[in-house]
Structure 1
Amino acid sequence: MNRFLILLLLVSISAQSQTELNYPEVVYGKENISASWVSHPDTKGGEDTAVLFRNTFEVANSKADFIINISADNHYYLYVNGQFITHGPQLSDIQHYKFETLNLKNHLNQGKNIIAVKVINFGKRRFLGMQSIFTSLMVNGVSENAKIINTTGFNDTWVSAIDESYKANEVVWRGDGEKAIVGGFYANNPTDIVNMNNYPTHWETLDFDDKDWKKVEFFENASSMGGSIAYLLEPRNLPLLSWDEERIASIVRSSKPIKTEFPVLGTLTLAPNTKTTFLLDQQYVTNGFPELIFSKGKSATIIIKYAENLFGANNEKGDRNDLENKKLLGYYDEIISNGKDAQKFIPNWMRTFRFIEFEIETKDQELVLENFVNHRSRTTIPSIAKFTSDDDMYNDIFDICKRTIDICTQDYFLSDAYYETMQYVGDTKIQGLIWETLSGNAEHTKNAIRQFDHSRDSDGNILGAYPLRSTFIYPTYSLVWVDMIADQYNTSGDKEFIKTYKDGIINTLAGFEKNMNDLNLVNKTPYRYFIDWYTGPNNGSGTATKNDGLNSAVVSLHYVHALQNASRLFSEIGDERTASNYKNRADEIITSVYKLCYDTDRSLFAERPDKTIYDQHTNIMAILTDAIPENQQRALLDKILNEEDLLQATYYYRFYLFEAIKKVGAPELFDVAQEPWEQMIDDHMTTTLERFESVEKPTRSEVHPWSASPAYFYFNYLAGIRSVKNDFEEVEIAPAFGKLNQIAGLLPTSKGNIEFELKRNKHKLSAEITLPTTIKGKIVWQGTVVNLKAGKNTYTLKSSK
């Protein structure tokens, strides 16, 4: 990957100067809300629709704060005096429905102003993470001067119109017809079909004539004090998303010769009555809201397709830089031109792409494509970690892992950027740790833990993904939620955080206990014990067996892992009785797993007592839970990395494999475990895959954060930088290196940035480490321990062993 080219393509010009006033601390709570939810009087309910709202009002003092709350169902886009401000609300559920709080004063003029809001309902095929009641808008004035724009539906000055140009375009992924995507399950939003002939151009500007628009209609009260008939509101708890202009690369392939370097260097004019197809290659995967400006072309059809990769004749992917004889298969937007100048199209939901293909058919008038840029979307918490080493393969792997995490950290954690965009528990455990490493900020992770806590059912199950309008239950993910709380405590040392969730932990573990049988192994459940995307004849759709997980050793050991974590957490808050109960229960299960599933002839754990299936996963979890004596763990680890007949841990579960390598202190095995990522680099991927390629389950998502775990272990294990007290108040730096000899980088923390350069030569370590004044620490090298001081530290350490 040409890094200079990436910098050239990214023009970091932020069009958004707005900030969320309630982040990081709530200043304007829900008690200030006196507005109501309103809608267009012709809105029926959950149909796909775009409703446009306008309010023209006078401002006596444009220098005064003008503070509002705003929210909508499903999603809104806010404009003030024709300028785009932000979009939202932050994703949550009906019982914790988010509102943004903004100060609009810098966008207002003395005298007359216009605030305009587009509200989208994506209809019956809306994103599975998006809960909804009714297409509606709520705008509430917080400052006294802003109350004039309160939505009430009775005596306010809001008017609205249904945007007749818009129709939701369902992304077809099942059924007998032609599919829009390759790879199956699609849970993201539909795309757009827009007929510009029906579009009210400039509707968001002050001079637009809205005399024929209808007065808004009351839907429900917005107050959430003590309850609500509709949404229980609470402030946004994460920053607004970015809206940064990113240049899109020029044409790399076309159906006919194209002389201009559109969109980089100029406009593209297409003659009347022609069909033209051309392909753009961004050269790296990105995401956002692409904006097309075009003129003329009356009745021309413009189809814009987006994809992470191209496909060969048999839907194979191969080298992502090899475009020869490959085609784009992916979701698309469709626009019909009205023939006017300066028409603008921006999709109503985020698009993810490396490749974009235009399919254009003109009618009797030439069409002029004038500009095409991307408005990049992601959290505005900075991701500033840096890592370099003496091995370019590691450097390239870090780059693709970081890009994946950056793309998929929005105002919640995305499981992937293209197909599902949901916040899954198992994925988030890994993504949260990596994100905190890249940013030094834990707020996204804490938000996810809290949202998962909201999802618990009466049996103690945490929903597999949340927020969610469906019901995905993976009982193993309920256990992972407990592990996430332990991860947070391990870094932060915050006992109040444990206390916040202690009742939930008890409920969740008690619920899982109901799944255990008389063998102290798991029974079948109505749900699926997801472990990994196994491949091969024993694939059980996420479990290693085709018997619904009955007597699964690895699932039973995941329960042990959660019990052990819970035992430590309750001990930390002084509840020794509960801690002891959890420890004793974990020991009982370990005894049964060892007795029933350990194969003394093979010196391996089988996946179940009949000893017909052997996998890496069970043995990895046996190491992590000490189900095998500590002095035998290294031999077991060597064995599972060398016996090829075992079911293999894929990208997701290799997080736990890396943890096992770290636990037994075998850094020389890290490179072996990382080998699958090398193929991604060889294939010129710029983000990380969801799963291993196989005939029965081809790879699908190419922007999948659960596969980005090397980036976490580069810092936490190879460089060996870990918080040992109160969220990096004190650190330990104990480099393991693996195959590397030089490691350098920057690790952001809540206490400031740690800069480091580490070099080893046999048993000697040269270290240059810069600590903020707020951090104390020590460096550990082969038995030698040296205290670090604030500022720059330069040491040469020799082994004391």
Structure 2
Amino acid sequence: MKLQSALSLFLFLLCQNLCAQKELNFPEIQYPPDDIKANWVSHPEVKGGEDVTILFRNEFTLENTENDFIINISADNHYFLYVNDKIVTHGPQLSDIKHWKYETLNLKPYLKKGENVVAVKVLNYGKRRFYGLQSIFTSLMVNGVTENARILTTTGKGDSWKCTIDQSYEAIEVNWRGGGPTSIVGGFYANNPTDYVNMNLHPTNWKKPDFDAADWSATSFFEGASSMGGSMAYLLEPRNLPLLTWEEEPIGKIVRHTENINSMFPEKGALNIPVNTKMTFLIDQKYVTSGFPQLVWNDGKNASIKIKYAENLFGKNNEKGDRNEIKGKTLLGYYDSIVSNGSKHQKFTPNWMRTFRFIEFEIETKDQELNLESFVNYRSRTQIPSIARFETDNELYNKIFDICKRTIDICTQDYFLSDAYYETMQYVGDTKVHALLWQAMSGNLEHTKNAIEQFHQSRDSEGNILGAYPLRSTFIYPTYSLIWVDMVYDYFELTGEIEFIEKYKNGIIHTLGGFEKNMNDLNLVKKTKYRYFVDWYTGPNNGGGTATKNDGENSAVVSLHYVHALENAAKMFAAIDDNHQAGLFQTRANEIKSSVYQLCYDQTRQIFAERPDKTVFDQHTNIMAVLTNALPKEQQKELLSKILEENALLQATYYYRYYLFKAIQKVRAPELFAIAQEPWSNMVKDHMTTVLERFESQEKPTRSEVHPWSASPAYFYFDFLAGIQSVKNNFEEIIIKPAFGELKIMEGELPTAKGSIGFRLKKSKNNLQAELNIPKEMKGNLVWNGTTVPLKPGLHIYKMD
């Protein structure tokens, strides 16, 4: 196999994405908030909080197009920026009021000599807006950085902007509670509302220079961008991640329809729909994707077009089954609704990202035929390339890797999405797993640093990290506070950055000190007003995600999560020479471990119970007992084998199997890996293209189908089976110690901060042949059957007995 350098591919892809438009403050801040002179402005008739779209225009003449034309821009809730009818980007990056992000852009490539127009659409999604969106008031801020761009500075006091309320738009609330027919299957919906647009009321061509905006309003002042050492509204910070992509992606074929269709729409060719016709047709993308699908059409005065989106189809009892099977199944999901105005070249693009494999159109024409011209998707992803590759001699593993990677790619936007359809929030427990996977797929740590910082910013006075952040609500799961500490340790373990611990050490002390108040006299956790989320348990004693039905009182697994965080904190504080605090953390961890063993270990069954009354047994407690050494090391492999054989135990589902795989790796038991991975084979059998949120059960049917916390096998393919690990300073020094499991051949590319590692590993009986391409900035060792061989930079073949 010829191993190409993934580093060169990384740079090529990065250039391809960034050449169109890039964030000028990433990776280094060049334009800080101190220099922003603009005000926040709005439309004079906006009251605040309602679902509304405000359209802003600024038309100006430009004689010199050779100079940079740099602006800062932000909005509340969300904006889309256009120059001369071409989209530039949308934003702002998700954050909170005290850390409100702004983008910094050079508009020079979009400008022309003569008349130009910069147009901005600002959305407020209303009372049911996305749970991650904090908000004060529907408003826009544009700051001209370069002299020629100052004409765009918003002041609300005689600036050159014009604005209008787009009367064509209303938010469609996605009904999942409160009675009446539900729009979705599966409960909790935290994503944005969808769109109703009446094109008869829409100001067509408002983004073009020759549009007549004479009857539009002047902007009204809302607040200054800064004052009195802070702000009367938002505390501005520069965007700290790349812009999102806007890449055209073809949409799949029509696979089912109610009327005769003589067209290849949307692949090619228009679709004509006669007058007074009702038509429904279903499109199968063949894989789950996300982005902004854009429909272009002509004519069809007052025709109604409903566009429904779903990850899957449902049978008559809401069962899913084989995702490729569409017969007798129905699309149940959120939708956009449009009324046509009868003109040529009308366009509809949703105001928020849509996720789908299946799209269903429901169309009803009136007295004019409707002609659908084109339908494409504009994919939204982080611009950081995801270039990891993994292939084996076992096709099941290849398919599992593919569905895991697609999930991670879809859900890495300008923050880590918990899922792509229902919630789209950045949860702590989800992000711990997601971050490790994204690092393996991209070799990049910027999203991880952003998530750790945003969780740190969410901390309350008691030390609790909010369960998800950014957030306009208050979700607290004390277990997730502990996992934030683990995330900081994961980052430190990889990079060795002492400064990173120094930055968060006070937060770590506060969070662990706050959790200590949850402990009782048994050295186990007690009930709290918050929920100890552990996993979506299935079977008896299902606690709805909590450690069984007693609100977590005396929970061994939660107590051991505390131990895990304490021990990670002890290692970090020892690294910064705070041996006193490190000793306190470790001593406390030892006390709790001892109590868990004495009170919860069942000598007869030789496994841990979930609580001292020994009425509930689960895999989770035993997994954490291995990871924290609550059981002697020589007994740990046998314990893992035992819990994988006992089906009566409460099972670790997709999310918690990250910890199961980690425990299997810890005890070096690759023979158990395939057993732990078995649930993923059902997803492959059902032709899924992304990974599920949880196990299917009658009491808790599966919901989200794009859920990164379930993608952990792909991480361990590199970290455990191929055995490629950083030993020092983020892959400055590495070890390659293959475990294989049931595999015989593994090959692929693992991107890192020091370049990409290419590998082809082949096992024959006890022999290893390793073809490795090692970046010149790395050093390390290849280890096989107790033998260690130094690695050489470049492409080399190693043969070991």
TM-score above 0.5: yes
TM-score (norm 1): 0.98
Q: Distance in 2 between matches of 1:261 and 1:106?
A: 35
Q: Is the 8 A contact 1:78 1:84 kept in 2?
A: yes
The superposition leaves residues 120-160 of structure 1 with CA deviations (integer Å, 9 ceiling, x where unpaired) of 00000000000000000000011122112100000210110
Aligned to 1:713: 716
Q: Distance in 2 between matches of 1:737 and 1:216?
A: 64
Displacement after TM superposition at 1:175 (Å): 2.1
Q: Is the 8 A contact 2:96 2:134 kept in 1?
A: yes
Counterpart check, 1:569 vs 2:572: yes
Q: 1:35 pairs with 17, 34, 38, which one?
A: 38
Q: Distance in 2 between matches of 1:289 and 1:576?
A: 52
Counterpart check, 1:147 vs 2:145: no
Aligned to 1:701: 704
Counterpart check, 1:727 vs 2:730: yes
Q: Distance in 1 between matches of 2:519 and 2:190?
A: 32
Displacement after TM superposition at 1:257 (Å): 1.8
Counterpart check, 1:537 vs 2:540: yes
Aligned to 2:417: 414
Counterpart check, 1:551 vs 2:554: yes
The residue identity in structure 2 corresponding to 1:430 is V
The superposition leaves residues 218-272 of structure 1 with CA deviations (integer Å, 9 ceiling, x where unpaired) of 0000126820010000000000000000000110000122111111121000111
Shifted more, 516-525 versus 253-262: the winner is 253-262
Aligned to 1:177: 180
**Counterparts of 1:217-232 in structure 2 under 5 Å?**
217-223=220-226, 226-232=229-235
Q: Distance in 2 between matches of 1:694 and 1:56?
A: 58
The residue identity in structure 2 corresponding to 1:449 is I
Q: Is the 8 A contact 1:191 1:333 kept in 2?
A: yes
Aligned to 2:647: 644
Aligned to 1:523: 526
Counterpart check, 1:212 vs 2:202: no
Counterpart check, 1:668 vs 2:671: yes
The superposition leaves residues 155-199 of structure 1 with CA deviations (integer Å, 9 ceiling, x where unpaired) of 210110000000000000112200100000000000000000000
The residue identity in structure 2 corresponding to 1:478 is S
Q: Is the 8 A contact 2:477 2:531 kept in 1?
A: yes
Q: Distance in 2 between matches of 1:512 and 1:213?
A: 55
Q: 1:80 pairs with 54, 78, 83, which one?
A: 83
SS for the counterpart of 2:526 is coil
Q: Distance in 2 between matches of 1:262 and 1:361?
A: 17
Q: Is the 8 A contact 2:390 2:747 kept in 1?
A: yes
Displacement after TM superposition at 1:547 (Å): 1.1
Q: Distance in 1 between matches of 2:110 and 2:763?
A: 55
Q: 1:615 pairs with 618, 621, 633, which one?
A: 618
The superposition leaves residues 339-376 of structure 1 with CA deviations (integer Å, 9 ceiling, x where unpaired) of 11110000000000000000001111111000000000
Aligned to 1:94: 97
Unaligned residue ranges in structure 1 (runs of 5+)? 1-11
SS for the counterpart of 1:766 is strand
The residue identity in structure 1 corresponding to 2:719 is N
The superposition leaves residues 401-437 of structure 1 with CA deviations (integer Å, 9 ceiling, x where unpaired) of 0000000000000000000000000000000000000
Q: Is the 8 A contact 1:15 1:243 kept in 2?
A: no
Aligned to 1:3: none
Aligned to 1:457: 460
Aligned-pair identity in percent equals: 68
Aligned to 2:375: 372
SS for the counterpart of 2:74 is strand
Aligned to 1:264: 267
Q: 1:161 pairs with 156, 164, 177, which one?
A: 164
TM-score (norm 2): 0.98
Displacement after TM superposition at 1:15 (Å): 11
Displacement after TM superposition at 1:763 (Å): 1.1
SS for the counterpart of 1:480 is helix
Aligned to 2:68: 65
Aligned to 1:304: 307
Counterpart check, 1:49 vs 2:52: yes
The superposition leaves residues 508-547 of structure 1 with CA deviations (integer Å, 9 ceiling, x where unpaired) of 0000000000000001000000000001231111123111
Q: Is the 8 A contact 1:73 1:134 kept in 2?
A: yes
| Gap change, CA 1:224 and 1:797, over 3 Å in 2 | farther
Q: Is the 8 A contact 2:226 2:232 kept in 1?
A: no
The residue identity in structure 1 corresponding to 2:178 is G
Aligned to 1:582: 585
The residue identity in structure 1 corresponding to 2:159 is D
Q: Is the 8 A contact 2:547 2:558 kept in 1?
A: no
Counterpart check, 1:684 vs 2:694: no
Displacement after TM superposition at 1:469 (Å): 0.2
Moved over 2 A (4+): 12-16, 223-226
Displacement after TM superposition at 1:60 (Å): 3.1
Q: Is the 8 A contact 1:182 1:700 kept in 2?
A: yes
Q: Is the 8 A contact 2:761 2:769 kept in 1?
A: yes
SS for the counterpart of 1:124 is coil
Aligned to 2:507: 504
Displacement after TM superposition at 1:335 (Å): 0.1
The superposition leaves residues 560-594 of structure 1 with CA deviations (integer Å, 9 ceiling, x where unpaired) of 00000000000011000000000000000001000
The superposition leaves residues 371-390 of structure 1 with CA deviations (integer Å, 9 ceiling, x where unpaired) of 00000001010000000000
Q: Is the 8 A contact 1:38 1:218 kept in 2?
A: yes
Displacement after TM superposition at 1:58 (Å): 2.3
**Counterparts of 1:89-488 in structure 2 under 5 Å?**
89-223=92-226, 226-488=229-491
Counterpart check, 1:781 vs 2:768: no
Q: Distance in 1 between matches of 2:637 and 2:152?
A: 67
How many residues get paired? 787
Counterpart check, 1:754 vs 2:757: yes
Q: Distance in 1 between matches of 2:747 and 2:17?
A: 30
Aligned to 2:6: none
Aligned to 2:494: 491
The residue identity in structure 1 corresponding to 2:663 is A
The residue identity in structure 1 corresponding to 2:132 is G
Q: Is the 8 A contact 2:17 2:383 kept in 1?
A: no
Q: 1:742 pairs with 728, 731, 745, which one?
A: 745
Q: Distance in 1 between matches of 2:338 and 2:152?
A: 33
